[in-house]
Amino acid sequence: MTAFRFGVVAAAQQGGARWRDTARRAEELGYSTLLSPDNLHIPTPTAALATAAAVTDRLRVGSFVLASPLRTARAAAWEAHSLTTLTEGRFELGLGTGLPSMREQAEELGLPYGSAGERLDAISATIDHVRRLDGEAHTHTPVMVAAGGPRARRLAAAKADIVTLAGGVLTPRDEFAAHVEELRSAADGRELELAMNIFVVGDEVPAWMRGFIQADAQALIENDSLTMLRGGVDDMAAELERRRAELGVSYVSVNSAFIEEFAPLVARLSGT
């Protein structure tokens, strides 16, 4: 089985000192990657990730995810390749089509939001540009695609290194399993690292998170939601091992609100 590794998702919205502390703490706790989201209401992830890499030694940094409506494909590739170069290979490019709310943000930037197909085409073009730039410099930027639909899964299977299984917070386990089979079939032997993001660690959903995912703890528990991880450390470790065995998920990220609560799992499972 592919060895576990873990990421922490955080936004650099509380100032430079707090952000640098978050990066250092993630490295101290053994997380593989610090991941930064993308929207116009927080500092741009490229600047944030360059800062995080500068104050750490081993920590990888990644976008989670660059939204295709917020920059052209060539601009996204330029930023990505620049980070790969400046971090000496510690950057991972995460790409996604963006939330519907980003229509207004795209308009503010003077860019088209585009149809679902056009936004996926932009992701495909970004990957092609990155591969060209990397090839010229003899580097390789790992690309992660957040794949929530069939076309996104086909694109990820063909061009990505890492695929985040995206879907609704109440998506059943067997549906995720079907998505994995679809990915494996489309990849036709290409090796893919499968990833999943955990929104909630424990039995309670913080109020701010409840507003974001539009579900409470009872709904998550009743639907066996894979966006929640609960119980003791033994229980949570067993659940992650189950997901790896059944779904092939070995790269797990967690919101920074749970960076300390999740740390015992990082210590136990990293590299195993």
The H or E element spanning position 52 is helix 45-54
pTM of the model: 0.96
**Contact call for residues 75 and 47 (beta carbons, < 8 A):** no
Q: What is the pLDDT of residue 38?
A: 97
**For range 196-214, the mean pLDDT:** 93
Residue type at position 22: T
Sorted by where each begins, the domain ranges of the chain are 5-269
Tens-digit pLDDT profile for residues 70-83:
999 999 999 999 99
Whole-number average pLDDT of the chain: 96
Given a cut of 90, is residue 167 above it in pLDDT?
A: no
Output the CATH code of domain 5-269: 3.20.20.30
Reported as a pLDDT band with limits 50, 70 and 90, residue 188 is: very high
In the structure, how many helices (H) and strands (E) does the chain have?
11, 11
> In Å, how far are 48, 114, 150 from 68, measured between CA atoms?
18, 9, 18
Cis before residue 65, ω within 30 degrees of 0?
yes
**Contact call for residues 193 and 162 (beta carbons, < 8 A):** yes
Question: How far apart, in whole angstroms, are the C-alpha atoms of residue 183 and residue 167?
Answer: 14
> In Å, how far are 47, 63, 70, 104 from 99, measured between CA atoms?
21, 15, 11, 11
Residue 96: which residues within 8 A CB-CB, separation 6 or more?
65, 66, 67, 68, 123, 145, 146, 166
Fill in the DSSP letter of residue 39.
Answer: -
Tens-digit pLDDT profile for residues 258-269:
999 999 999 999
Task: Give 102-122 as a DSSP string.
Answer: HHHHHHHTT-----HHHHHHH
